[in-house]
Amino acid sequence: MDCQQLGQEELKEGDTLETLTNKQRRAHKTDTWGVLALGVPLSEMTGSDVAGVLAREKDKMEAIQRMQIAKSCPGAGVAVVPATLD
């Protein structure tokens, strides 16, 4: 992959990470209410917890960024991987 392709992949991966981070935040809120009301985290029962998928996608982003740095691509390493709610 050249720098342009890596940049495009980084943009796509950033969108994916943003979507998954938002889903995980919603699952976290649902779990808070579920534990308060029912004593159990609802995201595990509904399948809305995406922590594992989010972790894999973060690894992909980090790999893309490492390749950009290795190839000395302009702006390499500037993007930030969103934090989780762990």
Answer whether residue 86 shows pLDDT above 50. no
Once rounded to an integer, what is the mean pLDDT over residues 63-75? 92
Dihedral of the CA atoms 84, 72, 11, 83 (nearest 10)?
10
12-66 pLDDT, tens per residue?
Answer: 999 999 999 988 888 777 767 566 666 665 566 566 567 788 899 999 999 999 9
Does residue 18 contact residue 82 with C-beta atoms inside 8 Å? yes
